A and B are shown apart, each in its own frame.
Chain A
Amino acid sequence: MSTISERFFLLQSHLEKNCKSKISKITGYVSFTMRKFLFSVLSIGPIPAHVAFIMDGNRRFAKRHTLLQDSIDPASGHRLGFRSLISTIQYCYEMGMKCVTVYAFSIDNFKRSPQEVQLLMDLMREKIEEMSAEDGVLKSLDVKINFWGNLELLTEPTRLSAKRAMDTTMHNKGPVLSVCVAYTSTDEITHAIEASVRDLKGKDQVEVSDLERNLYSASYAEPDIIIRTSGETRLSNFLLWQSDFTHLQNPKQLWPEFSLRHLVLAVLDYQLVYAYLKKRKEEIEKNK
Chain B
Amino acid sequence: MDGNGRWANRRGLTRVEGHKAGEAALLDVVAGAIQAGVKHLSVYAFSTENWSRSPDEVRFLMGFNRDVLHRRRDQLNEWGVRVRWAGRKPRLWGSVIKELQFAEELTRANDVLTLTMCVNYGGRVEIADAVRSIADDVAAGRLKPSAVSEKLIQRRLYLPDMPDVDLFVRSSGEQRTSNFLLWESAYAEFVFLDTLWPDFSRVDLWRAIELYLDRDRRFGGAVDTPTV
Contacts and interface: CB of A to CB of B under 8 A. Distances in A.
B150 A64 contact: no
Contacts, number: 136
Interface size on B, as a range, is: 35 or more
B150 A187 contact: yes
A283 B176 contact: no
Interface in B188-203: 188-192
B215 A233 contact: yes
B163 interface: no
A221 interface: no
A190 B52 contact: no
Contacts of A63: 226
Interface in A162-199: 184-187, 189-190, 193-194, 196-198
Interface size on A, as a range, is: 35 or more
B176 A194 contact: no
Contacts of A246: 176-177
A3 B153 CA distance: 48
A241 B179 contact: yes
B221 interface: yes
B220 A108 contact: yes
Interface in B167-187: 175-179, 182-183, 185-187
B138 interface: yes
B149 interface: yes
Which of A64, A106, A197, A277 has the most C-beta atoms of chain B within 10 angstroms of its own C-beta? A197
Contact of B176 (A200, A202, A248): A248
Contacts of A211: 124, 127-128, 131
Interface in A256-288: 273, 277, 283-284, 286-287
Given A241-B182, A284-B52, A200 B189 contact: no
Contacts of A111: 219-221
Nearest to B132: A206
A60 B224 CA distance: 11
A224 B185 CA distance: 19
Given A186-B183, A284-B49, A197 B226 contact: no
B139 interface: yes
Given A186-B183, A197-B145, A206 B190 contact: no
B175 A248 contact: yes
Given A116-B222, A189-B127, A211-B128, A247 B149 contact: no
A236 B220 contact: yes
B186 A237 contact: yes
A235 to B, nearest CB: 7
A237 B217 CA distance: 13
A182 to B, nearest CB: 12
B227 interface: yes
A37 interface: no
Contacts of B124: 208, 211, 241, 244
Contacts of B219: 108, 111, 236
Interface of B: 49, 51-53, 123-125, 127-128, 131-132, 134-135, 138-139, 145-146, 148-150, 153, 175-179, 182-183, 185-192, 215, 217, 219-223, 226-228
CB-CB nearest 6 A-B residue pairs: A108-B220, A287-B52, A244-B179, A237-B186, A194-B148, A233-B190
Given A59-B222, A235-B186, A245-B176, 9 more contacts: A109-B220, A193-B134, A194-B146, A208-B125, A208-B128, A211-B131, A244-B179, A247-B176, A273-B175
